[in-house]
Structure 1
């Protein structure tokens, strides 16, 4: 099976760039917050906080506004003014919907989207910043009989064992862009090495498919654990130099029409553009997701 990336990697040679270290904490408990998505506002510079809440970002970000977002917290814009700065995020207030507990009954499943791994010949990979890629699913009245998200399946390709990824669920705003979090906790999952189908079971969370529709999105974590290091050919010296990128990549398939795929980069959500080069020019890469609902 041929497989190519629609999102082009920026392959970074490992060098000693000038960098700034900072940390993210809960404003009330002062506990560190892992896996925070961090961008320089409207620039292609970003980072993810590590498990201990720390992150490293280019000195180009100094004296610029950072946008920090994380499931369960209010998004915050704040200037990065010095090294070892501490950023505080405020926990988001959430109005929990009442869950009706029913007597035991036979489980009904409803598959509302699927994909064929063999025909998923495109894909999404990141550069150096923590992109989020998501696909919108419209609500249908038939979902009333199976209102809960049960499992999400996607095709992942990883050069390392144990890379981790974040799934984020959004409700669209009036313009159709991803907006409010549907589920207010991180959904972190591990990705196997190689080209595999990865299944995420969310049945225990009782997440109701919203009538406004749903964005199922996946966020790359630019942390040390996800680095894939390799030797990159240097055509100037005719030798090799050390380089890295972040794993994994996600499979997609080519469609002639726009497939409701959106990208979060530069701290902005935007529709994913049509392919601009090659035999598929004018077509679209649609994120390959299998979605199963249940009662």
Structure 2
């Protein structure tokens, strides 16, 4: 009997020991290499896997990882960094990216003309992109048209949002188009944070002070969910097949979509690469059945 208990103890110890080696939680604070200031809202994911998180307002993040994996850090204005998880220490340094800026002439603008493109009705939005516990990015491409010549400045972006929480934050990125028609260079080298109110809303993001002109090759509006504690929504779901309840976790807000016959202008970034949006084949909504989901974004241009 004693030998049995001894073997059982050793077995249990080894299971726990190996488990602790295989799975661990890493914590770190992201810092700017030049200023040594914390970097908030950095997209952090494990390469080729659906695992990731976002740094909080103080640059801190926690990530549960099994074994040693390559962790990727992606933030606007910084070089992409890849590092093995078992090499991550208390502080992780990111290097600012070097961007060559062309000459900019500042002139006084008289906003006498405005043009709305991508119009949608809030009452018609009934299918949304949601973010669970996996970081991902969704985008919509806006092609340039000759009719925009007299209103070339980006004034405001209006986005369909639906949130279970108040003050849910998300990040906007603006990308030019590369030679493969994918998102290329950043048009603006800083985070553009939007804040969605609780409920089904139209969330506006003001771009008027950025003096960004509509590129002749068109551009991408990218929405990035922030996997931070203040955005986390938890719901208890009862299950008939077993006792108790399971927890469903999402990161707010959900982003509204409109049906499209093509996915030409819809891309997503997941597991380190861009891919086209897939067709909706299982939805019960007739107008979205066998269609592609296009972000419900209205863009206001001005002169």
Tell me the TM-score normalized by structure 2.
0.86
* CA distance 1:274–1:241, shift in 2 (3 Å): closer
Answer yes or no: is the 8 Å Cα contact 2:133–2:249 preserved in 1.
no
Unaligned runs of 5+ in 2: 1-22
- The SS at the match of 1:248 is strand
| Gap regions ≥5 residues in structure 1 | 1-16
Query: Distance in 1 between the 2:171 and 2:270 partners?
Result: 16
Deviation at 1:18, TM superposition (A): 4.7
1:211 offset after TM fit, Å? 1.6
2:127 counterpart of 1:119: no
Q: Is residue 54–residue 228 contact of structure 2 (8 Å, CA) maintained in 1?
A: yes
1:287 aligns with 2:295: yes
Q: 1:120–1:254: 8 Å Cα contact kept in structure 2?
A: no
Alpha-carbon separation, structure 2, partners of 1:226 and 1:104: 37
Quickly say closer, same or farther: Cα 1:106–1:266, change in 2 above 3 A: closer
Matched-pair contact (CA < 8 Å) for 1:159–1:193: yes
Distance 2:267 2:214 in 1: 19
Residue in 1 that maps onto 2:12: none
- Residue 33 of structure 2: aligned partner: 27
Which of 56, 76, 80 aligns to 1:50? It is 56
Q: Deviations over 1:14-38 (max 9, x none)?
A: xxx8522122111122211110011
Q: 1:51 to 1:103 in 2, by over 3 A?
A: closer
1:223 paired with 2:228, answer yes
Aligned to 2:178: 173
Q: Deviation digits for residues 246-281 of structure 1, max 9, x if unmatched?
A: 111000012232251111111211111111324544
More helix per residue? 2
CA distance in 1, matches of 2:133, 2:259: 25
Displacement of 1:70 after TM fit?
0.7
1: CA distance, partners of 2:295 / 2:222: 9
Q: Distance in 2 between matches of 1:85 and 1:272?
A: 37
Instruction: Indicate the structure (1 or 2) with the bigger Cα radius of gyration.
Output: 2
The answer for the alignment partner of 1:156 in structure 2 is: 161
Quote the Cα distance in structure 1 between the aligned partners of 2:235 and 2:279: 31
**TM-score (ref. length: structure 1):** 0.88
Aligned-residue Cα RMSD (Å) equals 1.9
Q: Which residue of 1 aligns with 2:218?
A: 213
